[in-house]
Chain A
Amino acid sequence: MMEQALFILINVVFNVSIWLILSLSLNIEVGFANIPQFGRLAAALVGSLAVGGIIGRVAALLAGQPIDERFVENNAYAIMVINSYLSQHPLISVLLLVLALVTSVLLGALIGVATILPAVRLSEAYLGITLLSIAEVLRTFLYNYDPIIGGTRGVSVPAFLQFLNDYSTPVTLALMVLMAITSFAVAEAISRSPLGRAMRAIRDSEVAAEVYGRDVMKIKIYAVMIGSAMAALAGALYTIFTGSSYANDYSRFTWTFLPWAYIMLGGVGNNVGVSLAVIVMSVLRSFIQIYKHELASHLFNIDPSWLEYIIIGLIIILITLFRPQGMLPEKPVFTLPRRRIEEIRKRVLEEKESS
Chain B
Amino acid sequence: MKQTVVLAGIAVVAFVIGFVVGGFTLGVGRAPATTVTSTTTITITVTPSGVATLSGEIPIGALLPLSGSLATYGAQCKEAFLLAVEDVNKWLAALGKPWRLKPIVEDTATDPTTALNKLMTLAAQGVKVVVGPMASSEVKKIKSFADSNKILVISQSSTSMELALPGDFIYRFTPPDKYQGIAIAHILWERGVRYVIPIWRGDTWGDGLLNYTKAEFLRLCQSVGGGNCGWDTGIRYDPTATVFETEVATLARKVEDYVNKYGKDKVGVLAISFEEIANIFDQAVKYPILAEVKWEGSDGTYGTAKLTEEPRRAEFAIKVQFWNTMAAPGESPLKESVRQRLIQRIGQEPIPYAYFTYDAVWAVALAIDHVGVYDGEAIKNAVPLVLKTFIGASGHFELDENGDRATTDYTIATVVKTPDGKYVWKEIGGYIGGKLVIYTQQSS
Residues of A at the B interface (CB closer than 8 Å) are: 1, 3-4, 7-8, 10-11, 14, 73-77, 80, 83-84, 87-88, 90-91, 93-95, 97-98, 101-102, 105, 143-144, 151-154, 156-157, 159, 161-165, 167-169, 171, 175, 178-179, 182, 185-186, 189-190, 193-196, 198, 219, 222, 225-226, 229, 233, 242-244, 246, 248-249, 251, 286, 289-290, 292-293
List chain B residues, Cβ under 8 A from A182.
Answer: 11-12, 15
Distance A14 CA – B123 CA, assembled complex (angstroms)? 14
Question: Can you show 26 pairs from A to B with CB atoms below 8 A apart?
Answer: A7-B120, A7-B125, A14-B120, A76-B162, A77-B162, A90-B28, A91-B24, A93-B27, A102-B16, A105-B9, A105-B12, A156-B140, A159-B148, A163-B27, A163-B34, A165-B34, A175-B23, A186-B12, A198-B1, A225-B5, A242-B145, A244-B143, A248-B111, A286-B124, A290-B125, A292-B121
Partner of A163, one of B12, B19, B30: B30
List chain B residues, Cβ under 8 A from A290.
Answer: 121, 124-125
Distance A293 CA – B11 CA, assembled complex (angstroms)? 43
Partner of A156, one of B121, B126, B143: B143
Instruction: Tell me if B47 is interfacial: C-beta within 8 Å of chain A.
Output: no
Partner of A98, one of B1, B17, B111: B17
Partner of B40, one of A84, A196, A198: A84
List chain B residues, Cβ under 8 A from A248.
Answer: 111-113, 240
Once A80-B165, A292-B121 are accepted as A-B contacts, the answer to whether A189 and B7 lie under 8 Å apart by CB is yes
Contacting pair B113 A84 (CB below 8 A): no
Instruction: Tell me if B20 is interfacial: C-beta within 8 Å of chain A.
Output: yes
Across the A-B interface, give the 4 residue pairs with the lowest CB-CB distance, nearest first.
A243-B144, A90-B27, A87-B38, A4-B126
Residue of B whose beta carbon sits closest to that of A197 = B1
Distance A289 CA – B145 CA, assembled complex (angstroms)? 18
Residues of B at the A interface (CB closer than 8 Å) are: 1, 4-5, 7-9, 11-13, 15-17, 19-20, 23-24, 26-28, 30-31, 33-35, 37-40, 104, 111-113, 116-117, 120-121, 123-126, 137, 140-141, 143-145, 147-149, 162-163, 165, 167-168, 202-204, 207, 238-240
Residue of A whose beta carbon sits closest to that of B240 = A248
List chain B residues, Cβ under 8 A from A143.
Answer: 238
Distance A193 CA – B5 CA, assembled complex (angstroms)? 10
List chain A residues, Cβ under 8 A from B39.
Answer: 84
Once A3-B126, A153-B207 are accepted as A-B contacts, the answer to whether A249 and B113 lie under 8 Å apart by CB is yes
- Write the nearest CB–CB distance from A156 to chain B, whole angstroms: 6
- Write the nearest CB–CB distance from B190 to chain A, whole angstroms: 29
Do most interface residues of chain B lie in helix, strand or loop, or is the interface mixed?
helix
Partner of A152, one of B23, B31, B238: B238
Contacting pair B149 A80 (CB below 8 A): no
With A87-B38, A90-B31, A161-B27 known, 7 other A-B pairs at CB within 8 A are: A84-B40, A153-B202, A153-B207, A178-B19, A186-B8, A186-B11, A229-B9
Contacting pair A4 B124 (CB below 8 A): yes
Once A80-B165, A244-B141, A290-B121 are accepted as A-B contacts, the answer to whether A94 and B23 lie under 8 Å apart by CB is yes
Residue of B whose beta carbon sits closest to that of A182 = B15
List chain B residues, Cβ under 8 A from A229.
Answer: 9, 12
Partner of A226, one of B8, B111, B163: B8
Do most interface residues of chain A lie in helix, strand or loop, or is the interface mixed?
helix
Distance A248 CA – B19 CA, assembled complex (angstroms)? 30
- Write the nearest CB–CB distance from B96 to chain A, whole angstroms: 25
Contacting pair B168 A80 (CB below 8 A): yes
Contacting pair B137 A153 (CB below 8 A): yes
Contacting pair A293 B104 (CB below 8 A): yes
Distance A194 CA – B4 CA, assembled complex (angstroms)? 8
Contacting pair A165 B37 (CB below 8 A): yes
Partner of B1, one of A83, A222, A249: A222
- Write the nearest CB–CB distance from A235 to chain B, whole angstroms: 13
Contacting pair B38 A88 (CB below 8 A): yes
Contacting pair B35 A88 (CB below 8 A): yes
- Write the nearest CB–CB distance from A294 to chain B, whole angstroms: 10
Contacting pair B140 A226 (CB below 8 A): no
Partner of B24, one of A94, A178, A246: A94
Partner of A159, one of B33, B144, B207: B144
Contacting pair A246 B141 (CB below 8 A): yes
Distance A249 CA – B141 CA, assembled complex (angstroms)? 10
Partner of B11, one of A95, A159, A189, A198: A189
List chain A residues, Cβ under 8 A from B4.
Answer: 189-190, 193-196
List chain A residues, Cβ under 8 A from B126.
Answer: 1, 3-4, 7
Distance A2 CA – B35 CA, assembled complex (angstroms)? 26
Distance A84 CA – B207 CA, assembled complex (angstroms)? 26
Contacting pair B28 A162 (CB below 8 A): no
Distance A10 CA – B123 CA, assembled complex (angstroms)? 9
Distance A222 CA – B104 CA, assembled complex (angstroms)? 48
Distance A182 CA – B15 CA, assembled complex (angstroms)? 7
Partner of B117, one of A151, A171, A194, A289: A289
Once A153-B140, A165-B37, A169-B149 are accepted as A-B contacts, the answer to whether A175 and B30 lie under 8 Å apart by CB is no
- Write the nearest CB–CB distance from B169 to chain A, whole angstroms: 12
Once A182-B12, A246-B112 are accepted as A-B contacts, the answer to whether A11 and B37 lie under 8 Å apart by CB is no
Partner of A102, one of B11, B13, B27, B117: B13
List chain B residues, Cβ under 8 A from A198.
Answer: 1
List chain A residues, Cβ under 8 A from B148.
Answer: 159, 162, 168-169, 243
Once A3-B126, A4-B124, A189-B11 are accepted as A-B contacts, the answer to whether A244 and B24 lie under 8 Å apart by CB is no
Among B112, B121, B124, B140: residue with most chain A CB under 10 A? B124
Residue of A whose beta carbon sits closest to that of B170 = A76
List chain A residues, Cβ under 8 A from B38.
Answer: 83-84, 87-88, 162
List chain B residues, Cβ under 8 A from A88.
Answer: 35, 38
Among B31, B35, B123, B148: residue with most chain A CB under 10 A? B148
Residue of A whose beta carbon sits closest to that of B116 = A242
Residue of B whose beta carbon sits closest to that of A292 = B121
Distance A175 CA – B23 CA, assembled complex (angstroms)? 9
